[in-house]
Amino acid sequence: MTSIWLVSLALVAKIFLVKEFIKRKKLPPGPIRLPLIGNLHMFGENLHQDLYKIAKKYGPIMTIYFGLVPTIIASSPHAAQLFLKNHDQIFASRPHHAACYYIFYKQRNLIMGKYGPYWRHMRKLCTLQLLNNVKINSFQSMRKQEVQILVNFLEKAASHRDVVDLSAKLTSLSANMACLMVIGKKYNNVDGDFKDMVQEMSRMAATPNLADLFPFLRLILRMKQIAKSCDEFLENVIDEHTGQYLSDQSKTSIDMVDTLMEIMQSGETEFEFDRRHVKAILLDLLVASMDTSSTSIEWILSELFKHPNVMKKLQSELDNVVGQKGIVEEKDLENLDYLNMVIKEGFRLHPVAPLLLPHESIEDCTLDGFQIPKGSRVLVNVWAIGRDPDVWHEPEKFIPERFVESTIDVRGQNFQLLPFGSSRRSCPGLQLGLTIVRLVVAQLVHSFDWELPNGTMPNDINMTEKFGLDLLVAFMDTLTTTIDWILSELLRHPNVMENL
């Protein structure tokens, strides 16, 4: 009896492996997957680091199965260029994403919107009306004021030689700037529910183990609750603004809600644009700008604390360019060459979105001899690209001087350095994000001589990556792929759904 079982088992395994082999002949290579879970068992806390190790064996274009869905991983500048430049339009869509579907108005937003006329209109609106240079500059004095508040706080703490939780202060600075710009009030003054929701999202994201998040239905319910409180919060924001807008036409600082309401009320958009779309964009802008800058600043400052010689060199540049006036102005930033090298080096080693956001192909495509079917997901491992020894000399080391006389920058033209992505789906907030990161790093380095607390030595600084909000999307993608699959099975079997 046992032998019949063993023979059947061997037969099933053989059929699976043969099917796998036939499929794999066309797709890029990758590790053997297990039934249902695919390659999920191969991943720990940091997906991008595990993918980097696997790519060393299977090459810069490989196939990984997150559950049942094949995902193509690009891990070299050449591979990134193929997907993001040579075949840019084919890979410019985003996959279905359960969390985003609930939270972002059925993916009617820009960040996770499917490629097509609707997304193109939304992108044009954001780039031309909300994130253009004039608009960004109109918030310059707000940024200056918020940075000054942080400097005043730190000066006071320094005079008492108090230890400061800089990470918390940077998060709050970044959130305040984002909220002031988008909804016209500080994050600190925003009502508790919205803050709870942001914290809840961070907590969900910070859970390192898939299993901790099951049962998945509870998670879906939680997503729906988050979506509801988010919607209520945004409805209130719009109501407050509509009242204000009608009664106070002389307001001097026009936040992004004002601009969007003006566009909506003008009725002049070339596409359907109502409150749902305004809310989707507002949420995009808040989510995209709240944590990205503070995380980047925190990494760059950590590298500076770890490398006192680089810190000294940067301070000396700031003394020369900014002088003793104390306050770094945004116009100074263009003259701070060494600062820009430090920032690039920080982004190279610590991109806040190590796998960018997931891309999806809208048609079949042959690429480097591989056949990539329509609907394939693509992740570009910019973290791995930043550590590629074929591109970077001593890639693990923090050496800003590597950019002396180099034309490589972070704006998406150089595929060896892509912290903001490249081409159609690249970050439209690049200029704003870069300005905030450069301004805050420059000001904090210029204003203070930093010391590590309680005798901590530079080499003791923990540079291990946290599984935080910025890794949310990659992680949620893995998770929701599995959830999507289970949900579609449930939808096909309503009796099982009812029992649940």
Q: Does 432 bind ligand HEM (CB under 6 A)?
A: yes
First to last CA, the chain: 36
427 is in an annotated binding site: yes
Q: Does 342 bind ligand HEM (CB under 6 A)?
A: no
Least distance CB 51 / ligand HEM (angstroms): 16
59 CB neighbour count, 10 Å cutoff: 16
Least distance CB 424 / ligand HEM (angstroms): 7
Among 99, 166, 285, 336, binds ligand HEM (CB under 6 A): 285
Q: Left if phi > 0, otherwise alpha if psi is -120 to 50, otherwise beta: which for 109?
A: beta
Helices 166-183 and 275-290 cross at an angle (nearest 10°) of 160
Residues 219 and 469: their CA atoms lie apart, in Å, by 17
| Token representation of residue 275 | 């409150």
Q: Does 136 bind ligand HEM (CB under 6 A)?
A: no
Residues 381 and 51: their CA atoms lie apart, in Å, by 8
Q: Is residue 450 within 8 Å of residue 294, measured between CB atoms?
A: no
Q: Does 75 bind ligand HEM (CB under 6 A)?
A: no
Q: Which stretch binds ligand HEM (CB under 6 A): 3-11, 36-44, 164-172, 353-361?
A: 353-361
Q: Does 419 bind ligand HEM (CB under 6 A)?
A: yes
Q: Does 420 bind ligand HEM (CB under 6 A)?
A: yes
Identity of the residue, 67 or 421, whose beta carbon is nearer to ligand HEM in the bound complex: 421
Q: Does 318 bind ligand HEM (CB under 6 A)?
A: no
Prior bond to 354 cis, omega within 30? no
Residue with nearest beta carbon to ligand HEM: 429
Identity of the residue, 289 or 302, whose beta carbon is nearer to ligand HEM in the bound complex: 289
Q: Does 357 bind ligand HEM (CB under 6 A)?
A: yes
Among 74, 90, 99, 111, binds ligand HEM (CB under 6 A): 111
Among 48, 108, 277, 425, binds ligand HEM (CB under 6 A): 425
Least distance CB 346 / ligand HEM (angstroms): 10
| Token representation of residue 492 | 């096909």
Q: Is residue 107 within 8 Å of residue 100, measured between CB atoms?
A: yes
Residue with tokens 């907590």: 203
**Secondary structure string (H, E, C) spanning 18-73:** HHHHHHHCCCCCCCCCECCCECHHHCCCCHHHHHHHHHHHHCCEEEEEECCEEEEE
Identity of the residue, 33 or 388, whose beta carbon is nearer to ligand HEM in the bound complex: 388
Q: Does 421 bind ligand HEM (CB under 6 A)?
A: yes
Q: Does 426 bind ligand HEM (CB under 6 A)?
A: yes
Strand-pair category, 370-372 with 365-367: antiparallel
Binding residues: 427
Binding residues for heme: 427
The residues binding ligand HEM (CB under 6 A) are: 110-111, 123, 284-285, 288-289, 292-293, 296, 352-353, 356-357, 419-421, 425-429, 432-433, 437
